[in-house]
Structure 1
Amino acid sequence: MTCAYTPSQIDEYLDYISFPAQYRLVKSGTTPPPQTLEFLTLLGAYHLSAVPYENLTLHYSKSHAVSLDLQVIFKKIVTDKRGRGGYCMENCLFYLNILRGLGFNAYPTGARIRLRVGVIPHGDYIGWMHIVNIVTFPDGAKYVVDVSFGGDGPTKPMPLIHGVSQQNIGTQEIRFVHDHIPQLMHRSSSESLAFQRSTKLWIYQYRNSSAHEWNSYYCFSELEFLPQDFEVINCYASTSPDCFQTFTLLVVRFLRRDGDGEGTEKEEIHGKVMLVNGEVKRNTGGRTETVLSCTSEVERVEALRLYFGIELTEEERMGIRDRVTELTG
């Protein structure tokens, strides 16, 4: 499949995320890696722990404009080496092309999300606001790879199978269900079974333990989206005063546990550190705790460096002046 990145860029990315040498059979793309779930899962863990979900460009920049140009994104994440990532469309489209460069059969699709009320997603699904990648293995098995949904997003590939749950971080469980969402009306019971199936969507759900109810967070179909589709979504997400991205500063970096090399402990995501406006929070699988409350820009810029490894330029730091997300204490 078409990939925007050269073999040398794929190598540069793998170096940047410190991907283990033993899984990189031959450099520069002359021999593709194994098309296995094990490889895909390991790659995702290294990506999530090296490339944060963040919307800082909307707040700390001169233009406050998010570019979906794949070379611009590569420079921002890999070449500049300043700890940057991106929000969902940047990060997922970037990762899509990494997957294709490594030989995976992958394509993107758009997702509708539900907004949080308090800490729980609630109410109607809003419009297209997210993106996931669907990977098809040689045996036909399909897995969803989502590397940029933020704190309650999946930390490993998920099988596109109804009702199959898997552990996420700590006691949290995640799954997909294939069902209708309440807002869609075109699903008459008199229609054929094939039609009923065609109008159902894949719904991402999570619960924080088996004692909790399942929460539906986003939904999507298996329709491939084009780059032009994401340009439209990106325009709304990055410019509308009604979109939470424009008035909420967000960063999430996942924490990876290194394996012991003997198979006793796997290399996997075991926690996360988050920045929501001025609050730095950490969750290592059991509970979320606030570790720092920033009241000034000096404190927040230092927190970005200390907790997330993100270095902002002077021009970027000045870009937040007079913005709604500026800390003025």
Structure 2
Amino acid sequence: MEKTASETRLPQLVAEHPPRNPGMALDLDWVARVQANTSAIERRAKTLPGRRSVKKAHQAAWLLKAVSCIDLTTLSGDDTVGRVQRLCAKARQPVREDILEPLGMSGLTTGAVCVYHDMIAPAIDALQGSGIPVAAVSTGFPAGLSPLHLRIAEIEESVKAGAAEIDIVISRRHVLTQDWQALYEEMRAFRDACGDAHVKAILATGELGSLRNVARASLVCMMAGADFIKTSTGKESVNATLPVSLVMIRAIRDYLDATGYHVGYKPAGGISKAKDALIYLSLMKDELGVRWCQPDLFRFGASSLLGDIERQLEHHLTGAYSANHRHAMG
């Protein structure tokens, strides 16, 4: 008997969200075994820009993927409701429609909008109906030195205000003094305070002293239930780098192999060029696979990056580079 059209139709591909990382008991023996061969890591990182190159339509496709993984961010002391509203409008329409339509990508949005606590409500109002989550930085960002009970209360207030994601900062002193029990308990308290909101653990890697410390801190935060591990606040003198990213990504891979749970990665600070976005995406694909190139497991903490991506996409369509002011944030 001849099959009907509905019977012969290929099954649709559904993006399955992996179960949330519940954490585990602190395993100090595992933490103590973690090492980092700095010279080997740096040699590998130096090869990355030249080893993966995509051109023409393939480059445009990867850049569009990068747009969907951006946490569009404003974290300035002079933030206003108007600035946040303009940022949210850009998140809804990150690339001009006359560029997106020929590429078949109308409706593309960024991964999230990231703001301070006071700007959660204006961001939620501006993003109503878009499906774009609001992320809030918390726990005494960026230093993380306020009393613990206040940091926990700050998380709870941001969750109550409607933030779907919370970017917390760890106490760097716990890493520098190798007090892994204290770091674990702190991170666990932050995770519990987040409830259903996903928590991104900012390690401030530029202040941790060594790649081994970065690797161990990454592991402890994942053991405590972090949904993402993130490089930087963007306020340190050294932010996201390829060696640090390689260490953190491999810690994620080791945790996946041991527990079966997926943890996301977010490089933040200093990523402003489209070519940098391509390098980071290729690194994720090489080390963790295509699944980690989706916005539920990978984000860029950036804003200026979006303007350069839009400029490169326009060049792909027209063959000419436009002025930077034509790709403003709002």
Q: TM-score, normalised by structure 2?
A: 0.27
Tell me which of the two structures has the higher relative contact order, counting C-alpha pairs closer than 8 angstroms and 6 or more residues apart: 2
Structure with more strand by fraction = 1
Higher fraction of helix = 2
TM-score (norm 1): 0.27
